[in-house]
Structure 1
Amino acid sequence: MHSLPIALILATLVTGADERPQPSVWRNPSNSVHVRAEPCGADSMCATVIWASDKAKTDAQRGGTKQLIGTQLFQNFKIVRAGLWKGTVFVPDINQRFSSTVTVVDENTIVGKGCALLGAVCKAQTWTRVRP
């Protein structure tokens, strides 16, 4: 599995109780990437890499992303319904974008899911809040 699987990128979009985008920092299950999620437009959320392990940086470079830190992984996520967001995720390891969703489990946990091939191939991953 890539160090930045599709689901990792989806994990940045948790909201407050009122469902408006709230800035926050999230980590993937292996703690190899941290992203800062914040509003990017009136009703959208985006997330940018603020920290990555050396391995994650190397994997991204092999995939064609020269600078992982500062790369926007989640793009234009919009709320679909309470607790569910939909947008596009960029996976630096393979230099591809995919349709993706984020489901809010609780204020500190989200599950990101990214799909390819019209939903035939999907991966999910649980992300944890690092800090608000």
Structure 2
Amino acid sequence: MRILAAAALAAGLLAPASAAAADATGTWLRATGTSRIKITRCGGDALCGSISWLKDPTGPDGKPRTDDQNPDAGRRTRPLLGLPIVLNMKPTGKPDQWKGEVYKADEGKTYTGFLSAIDAQHLKLEGCVMGGMICKAETLKRVD
């Protein structure tokens, strides 16, 4: 009987360790409150995200905001709404962490990116340079 009780206790202690990985898919509000990013699966276990909402979707001219800082002149007329900005994030091997690229539209630059689940309601999104030595992070909050 003691062996059964010990086995049941051990199973209960080990159960959280086998819990499913955090689900990073969904809609996330940026810390600035100015936009939302919808993160979805994009082939296998990779994650991608695009701008799904803008607090101020139109510019001073009354037209939809565009990717006007893009170094490629042919892409400067792309609408920001729907623009892919979290690109091909693949699992790193660490729990609840993905690595890929992040496009920063207000700079027109693409950076090495990391996405990490903080908890079920928060993600950390990082853009890095110099092989990940210098990074800028932002916390995203789940809104769906």
Q: TM-score range by the shorter chain?
A: 0.7 to 0.9
1:21/1:44 contact within 8 Å kept = no
Q: Please, which of 30, 47, 50 is the counterpart of residue 49 of structure 2?
A: 47
Q: Please, which of 100, 106, 114 is the counterpart of residue 119 of structure 2?
A: 106
Shift of 1:21: 5.7
From the superposition, tell whether residues 29 and 40 of structure 1 become closer, same or farther in structure 2 (CA, over 3 Å): same
- Regions of 4+ moved over 4 Å: 56-62
Is the helix fraction higher in 1 or 2? 2
Aligned position for 1:71: 83
TM-score (norm 2): 0.69
In 1, distance between residues paired with 2:87 and 2:47? 7
In 2, distance between residues paired with 1:60 and 1:118? 29
From the superposition, tell whether residues 21 and 128 of structure 1 become closer, same or farther in structure 2 (CA, over 3 Å): closer
Aligned position for 1:128: 141
Gaps of 5+ in 2: 1-18, 60-64, 71-75
Is the strand fraction higher in 1 or 2? 1
Gaps of 5+ in 1: 1-16
In 1, distance between residues paired with 2:23 and 2:91? 9
Q: Please, which of 31, 35, 41 is the counterpart of residue 37 of structure 2?
A: 35
SS in structure 2 opposite 1:118? helix
TM-score (norm 1): 0.75
In 2, distance between residues paired with 1:129 and 1:42? 23
Percentage identity across paired residues of the two chains: 24
Amino acid across the alignment from 2:110? R
- How many pairs are equivalent? 114
From the superposition, tell whether residues 57 and 27 of structure 1 become closer, same or farther in structure 2 (CA, over 3 Å): farther
In 1, distance between residues paired with 2:112 and 2:68? 22
Amino acid across the alignment from 1:18? A
In 2, distance between residues paired with 1:34 and 1:98? 19
Aligned position for 1:96: 109
